[in-house]
């Protein structure tokens, strides 16, 4: 296929991680900073913007809709001159969102009633991922969206000056921040009130940022798990500078790497520790990891901290299901921790992993089995028996998080691990190889064919 597909990582066994460093900016917050900044009145600066392909796809899409966006500069500074809620212009071409599910799902809501027609497209992986979960509620609100036979992208969103969405009271069928955000963003353009009830807490960056931009939300906790978030359509957003913290989902690879390799001691600076994202810390601690948080503070409405991780012998656990949505992107890395732990780790309630950038249950089980680990996939999770990681060639299936997880596995392997199809690491973690090398991982990129 594409030339990009030929990027292969070769990771030599052993080593340990050390040093104090920062991983790139949070992907979810970077996306949302472009979306809300573009719709706001006034100009704003984003610092620490993630210069990964996914968040850049969102940035490029808004430029194509007429928003003046300057940057990012090498430090991740972006200046956005907002056009207001009704200032976007029809893009001349389909908006190509690459590998980015967040771009496609959030834009489906945000662009459903702009008064112009547009098409959202993506790469092969994105074109096979479920989109009915976002098109269904937005169509119920009055949008006109055409998808492919299986409810997948490309999506054609048609609206004109007469399109009027109506508010909805929507209960999410699954714990998904992307679906929640899609409906809330459509709700900004709807007549009356839009409410979303979530079955379990999911990342709340959309809610925090909307409030930071001066939009009023009503958030009601219905019980231990469920919350209802409501807003009135027709309001406006006021530009507000954003300091993007480091992405805890990128930090997760180093947290696992340090936890599994004897002698490791690293500190990851300025990492976002939003309570809806800290499943990785809770789960690793349950497994016996040595994790300390210092310098806790709030930056632009999001909590951040420095995270120190030292090697510790991990033990297998049954991962509490209430932690699953809080660590939804971290299970490839957690599977590596489980493979290095003493005893059995059981993951349940995680069927959403089957519809991420790849089927992450299958991808991790296949790769771990190749490396000699006794494990199996279930409909909604995995069972992994800790053991000795061996050597072999694993396929990341073009999934950034699978590729980075197997790179970390090399720290405990007894032979070389070759990881295929790694180009998409650039969607979320540009500079991963360099940072890994400088912190002690023995990994390199094999020359492209």
Cβ distance to ligand S3P smaller for residue 6 or 211: 211
Cβ distance to ligand S3P smaller for residue 159 or 181: 181
Q: What is the DSSP string of 143-172?
A: -EEE--TTSPSPEEEE--TT--EE--EEE-
Minimum distance of ligand S3P from residue 446's CB (angstroms): 27
Biggest distance spanned by C-alpha atoms of the chain: 65
3-state secondary structure (DSSP) of residue 127: helix
| Nearest one of 406, 376, 401, 405 to 391, comparing CA atoms | 406
Cβ distance to ligand S3P smaller for residue 311 or 429: 429
Cα angle 291, 11, 314; round to 5: 30
Instruction: Compute the distance between CA of residue 221 and CA of residue 218 in angstroms, rounded to an integer.
Output: 10
Minimum distance of ligand S3P from residue 50's CB (angstroms): 11
Minimum distance of ligand S3P from residue 311's CB (angstroms): 28
Q: At what angle do helices 400-409 and 248-260 cross, to 10 degrees?
A: 20
| Nearest one of 18, 144, 39 to 84, comparing CA atoms | 39
List the catalytic residue out of 306, 329, 395, 399.
329
Where do contacts with ligand S3P occur on this chain (CB under 6 A)? 28, 102, 176-178, 181, 202-203, 328-329, 352
What are the beta bridge partners of residue 79?
Answer: 45, 70
Minimum distance of ligand S3P from residue 418's CB (angstroms): 26
Minimum distance of ligand S3P from residue 178's CB (angstroms): 4
26 flagged as catalytic: no
Shortest-Cβ-distance residue relative to ligand S3P: 28
If one counts every other C-beta atom within 10 angstroms of the C-beta of residue 195, the result is 18
Instruction: Compute the distance between CA of residue 20 and CA of residue 265 in angstroms, rounded to an integer.
Output: 9
Cβ distance to ligand S3P smaller for residue 76 or 440: 76
Cβ distance to ligand S3P smaller for residue 126 or 411: 126
Cβ distance to ligand S3P smaller for residue 9 or 331: 331
Q: What is the DSSP string of 44-107?
A: EEEES---SHHHHHHHHHHHHTT-EEE---TT--EEEE---TT-----SS-EE-TT-HHHHHHH
**Dihedral of alpha carbons 373, 412, 250, 299, sign:** positive
Cβ distance to ligand S3P smaller for residue 176 or 250: 176
Minimum distance of ligand S3P from residue 26's CB (angstroms): 9
What are the beta bridge partners of residue 63?
Answer: none
Minimum distance of ligand S3P from residue 428's CB (angstroms): 8
Could you give the residue numbers annotated as active site? 329
């Amino acid at each position: 296929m594409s030339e990009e597909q030929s990027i292969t990582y070769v990771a030599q066994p052993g080593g340990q991680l050390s040093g104090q460093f920062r991983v790139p900016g949070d992907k979810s917050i970077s996306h949302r900073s472009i979306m809300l900044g573009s719709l706001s009145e006034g100009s704003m600066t984003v610092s620490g913007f993630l210069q990964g392909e996914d968040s850049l796809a969102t940035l490029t899409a808004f430029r194509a809709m007429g928003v003046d966006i300057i940057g990012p500069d090498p430090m991740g500074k972006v200046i956005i001159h907002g056009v207001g809620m009704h200032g976007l212009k029809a893009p001349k071409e389909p908006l190509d969102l690459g590998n980015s599910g967040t771009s496609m799902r959030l834009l489906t809501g945000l662009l459903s009633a702009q008064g112009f027609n547009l098409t959202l497209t993506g790469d092969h992986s994105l074109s096979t991922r479920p989109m009915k979960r976002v098109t269904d509620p937005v169509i119920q609100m009055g949008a006109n969206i055409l998808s492919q036979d299986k409810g997948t992208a490309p999506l054609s969103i048609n609206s004109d000056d007469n399109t009027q969405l109506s508010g909805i009271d929507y209960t999410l069928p699954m714990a998904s921040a992307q679906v929640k955000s899609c409906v809330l963003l459509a709700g900004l353009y709807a007549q009356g009130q839009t409410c979303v009830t979530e079955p379990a807490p999911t990342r709340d960056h959309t809610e925090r940022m909307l409030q930071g931009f001066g939009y009023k939300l009503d958030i009601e906790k219905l019980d231990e798990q469920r919350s209802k978030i409501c807003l009135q359509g027709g309001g406006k957003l006021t530009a507000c500078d954003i300091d993007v913290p480091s992405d805890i989902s990128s930090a997760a690879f180093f947290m696992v790497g340090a936890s599994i390799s004897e002698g490791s001691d690293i500190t990851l600076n300025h990492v976002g520790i939003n309570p809806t994202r800290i499943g990785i810390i809770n789960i690793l601690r349950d497994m016996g990891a040595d994790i300390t948080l210092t310098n806790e503070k709030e930056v632009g409405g999001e909590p951040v901290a420095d995270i120190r991780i030292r090697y510790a012998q991990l033990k297998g656990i049954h991962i509490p299901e209430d932690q699953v949505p809080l660590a939804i992107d971290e299970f490839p890395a957690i599977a590596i921790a489980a493979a290095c732990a003493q005893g059995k780790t059981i993951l349940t309630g995680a069927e959403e992993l089957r519809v991420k950038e790849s089927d992450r249950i299958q991808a991790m089980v296949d790769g771990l089995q190749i490396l000699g680990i006794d494990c199996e996939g279930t409909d909604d999770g995995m069972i992994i028996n800790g053991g000795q990681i061996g050597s072999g060639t694993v396929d990341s299936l073009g999934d950034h998080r699978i590729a980075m997880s197997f790179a970390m596995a090399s720290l405990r392997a007894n032979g070389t691990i070759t990881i295929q199809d790694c180009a998409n690491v650039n969607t979320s973690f540009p500079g991963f190889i360099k940072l890994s090398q400088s912190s002690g991982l023995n990994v390199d990129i094999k020359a492209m064919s």
